[in-house]
Structure 1
Amino acid sequence: MKRSKFIALAFAALVLPFSASAQSDYPNKPITFIVPYPAGGLNDAIVRVIGDRMSALLGKPVLIDNKAGAATTVASNFVAKAPADGYTLYGGGTSLIINPTLQGNVQYDPHKSFDLVSLISFTPFILQVNADFPVKTMAELIAYLKANPGKFNMATSGIGATNHMAAEMFRAKTGLNYTIVPYRGGAQAGQDVASGQAQMMFSASLEAIPFLQSGKTRAIAISSAKRSPSFPDIPTVAESSDLKDFDVVFWQGLVVPAGTPKPIQDKLHATIAKITAEPEVIERFKKQGVEIRSSTPAQFKEWYLLEEKRWVTLIKEQNLKPE
């Protein structure tokens, strides 16, 4: 046997036991859970609850790190380059698969840079308008926007965010003329709708509730295919307009750097499945219109590809640009 080959085999024999041990006692130090938006938004709120429960179940702190910027690309780039050891988790969503086509300058491959562990949540958007905006129904909104082309703004959480895509799809399907304004998160965008700086927005239901309850905004429709049990009086976009196939939800899942050892991914998946089955967690977010549920990695992948096809098609057909 050649000396070089002998050394390689000897090294592998030494390393493998340590590697297996590192996986079997995972986690043995704090875990960082990356959020691609500022604190205060929907993604952040859900990840903080999930992270808190993970800390309790895994016995180690789960630290939340908000890495906002560049329409979530800052966070995605960071996670793609992080060590694949289970200590960097990501609350990834639609922008993960939108940005490579929309932005074109990302430092990750949506199919090679990450492993998909489990879906976590699904949230419809409430199309809300400023309380002083003179419309109360979808028919009135469409008619008013048609009569005043180019005069009003639709706020979004940021370029590539799911509600940005909802705003683009709504504009494309109705032929309406309004300006889409990106913000650095849903909380800030919602505040500007409430203050009248912007007139309307597809807001994640959790983020829309405080403004609706305060009377600063008014709900026009909800973006899911069916009415939300949490908001039974709000009609869907599909039922209140001619857009019969309109169905848009904000989703997020647990994503890790590609190559994270399977035993670690399995442990993370089992932990997420346990958390998302807890009645207290389910009910906490159900009141706010959020459906909490896990999935298998295969189911996550199927959903991931379906969403990618839909949104990449819209981006190309509408020739959407990052600015």
Structure 2
Amino acid sequence: MSDSSKIFVDHTLSFPPRREDIARGSFFDALHAAENWLLYQENALSEVFMAEGRDELPVEDYVNWWQGQQVRLGESRKHWLDLLAEAGWNLRGEVHYRSLAYLRPDLLDEYDFEHEENPTELPYTETTKSPRSVWWRCLREDEHRWRTSFYNRHVIGTKCPRCGKKGVSRREQAVFKALQRLLPELMSPGSVPRASVPRDQRRRHRAWRVDMLLPGAPTVVVEYDGAYWHRDAQAKDAEKSRDLEATGHLVIRIREHPLPAITPNDVLFAADLPADDVASLVHQRIVVLTDRDRREDGSGMVWEQAELFAPCGGENL
């Protein structure tokens, strides 16, 4: 059994509140109080050791004296951790020192602490190998949210599916942001059921992933076709457009020069055209094709449908 005379506790610093008694918004302050209390105890015992050393050293058997101090530190630290654990603060190495907060503090800014489904304390109480799925926020675009586990984010390195997906360029992101300012309900990416699925692909390809989706009547699908990624994909892009139209969607493809138009609805643009101008062209095309009411474009300008476009099918630029 442990010798209680070896256990040290300094009561100068108040003991942290019990975890079950704190409000959700106070978790971090309470956790830091628990960590600071533990650190304070270690520092206080170190001062005691220093004072005892000045009074007692030198001694004939220094090894036994030093080992006695180590035992005292070990017994005291175990007692401190037991006290904290009883109050709901598990700071023992088997969890705390393998937690996301300890090993990957750089990811704390991405953990969505404000999401109601995310426990506030989870980054401090779950290890980086946890399979539990939680919500993350994108540091590049604040409105981007996605869901994955600590393991996937830390070990596999999954990132924002919008910003981190292969083939989604910054140019496309800029056009989406500009168009979303004109159409706040626009979302990206979107998922649309297929009209027809090859029998051998039914398990893998039940829905199309679309670049942008605008709910409404009709629902509008906006696809961004960069010249590099789509230079040899005209047949595939045309097939996708036909299938989306078969399910009642209005499809508008943004095609970068020198890509040719696939359908009369396509918007063609030069590679150096600013993203805001590209978005304005797409917005005008949507207004014309959906016969929507007049709306502001974000700068205060109201577009009149009759003045928007020359007949569809020709070059826009």
TMscore range, shorter length: under 0.3
- Greater strand percent: which structure? 1
**Which one has a bigger Cα radius of gyration?**
2
Q: Which has the higher contact order (CA 8 A, sep 6+)?
A: 1
TM-score (norm 1): 0.23
Q: TM-score with structure 2 length normalisation?
A: 0.24
